[in-house]
Structure formats: C-alpha cells, structure tokens
Amino acid sequence: MTQFRKKNKRSLLSICMSFIYRKILSNCGENVMFDSIVYLMRNPQNIKLDDGAYIKANSRICPCNEDAQITIGKNTTIGYNTIIFSSQEITIGDNCMIAPNVYIVDSDHGMNKDQLMNQQENITNKIIIGNDVWIAAGAVILKGTMIPDGCIVAANSVVKGQLEAYSIYGGAPARKIGDRQ
C-alpha cells in the first residue's frame, strides 16, 4: 500500500457516498473513496469504478448519453477538479494517477463553415488509458487517444493519438520526450 493510500483512510462521508453510489453506478467496487463533493452526472448507471478507486473533490464524471461508458480501474486516483466526459467510451486502467485539473473528453464538434457550430454533429472516438499511467496536472486528453501501460504525460500537455508504452510525453501537442528507466 502506498503512503498516499495509508494516510487517506475512508471517511464516514466516503463510506456513505459509496453506499449510495452502489445503488446507481454500473459497478462500485470495494474500498472506493469519494471526497466531499464529486459529481457523477447524466447517466451514472454507465460508470464503473473498480476496487480502491479514489475520486477527489470537484471531479466531474459524465457519460453524456445512454450509450456512453466510463470505466476506472483498480487503485486509480482521479485528481481534484478533473473532468471526464464521454459520448462513446473512456477506459482508465489500474493503478493510474490522474492529477488535478485534467480534462478527458472523447468527442468534439464538426467544423463545417456552412453550418452554425452549435448545430453540428458530435464526433466521437474512444479513449483508452492503460495501467500504471501518470497524467500530470492540467493535461488534456482528446478523442481517439490510446495511452498504453506505463506512460507519463507531462503537465499541461495536449494528447491525441497513439502513444508508446513506458514513454514520457509533453507539450501541446504532446510529443515523446523520453522513456521510463
């Protein structure tokens, strides 16, 4: 057990929230922790939280339609103020660290100049984040992204596309800047 998990015991509020969320989520595993205010929006029945997931305060997790799915793996931490909006599918693996203020979204809008922006089709493509991934503060993960096992994404990076396992990425747009040793 990491130092972080040893020092962050489940509060009475977290236990109560887990009890309530077990009734409405697709899956709410054992020892899931919630901070005081967590927003599980629109279609919470399409959210799966595996054992030991920790969702910190002011995070917003939203399957945006009845078919959208969000899965968060074992012992994964979702940082303060993180936004995860899915119109198709977002999967986050086990033992991941998602830092504060990360934005993960699997859709965007069409850009046809002959039509108003707010009337254009929502274009989706799933996001898959592997196991043992660290996404640092302020990163943006866009539709169609595959972050394989062991990757690190630097703070304030903008990520789209296929990354290499056990590599380090940074920048906007994100580029490979190193390998984990």
Residues designated catalytic: 109
DSSP state string for 38-50: -EE-S-GGGEEE-
Which of these, 74, 111, 110, 104, lies nearest to 89 by C-alpha position? 104
Q: Could you give the CA distance from residue 118 to residue 120 in angstroms, rounded to a whole number?
A: 6
Q: Two tokens at 146?
A: 């595959």
CA 37 to chain centre: 17
- Classify strands 158-159 and 39-40 as parallel, antiparallel or unpaired: unpaired
- Phi and psi torsions of 16, nearest 5°: -65, -45
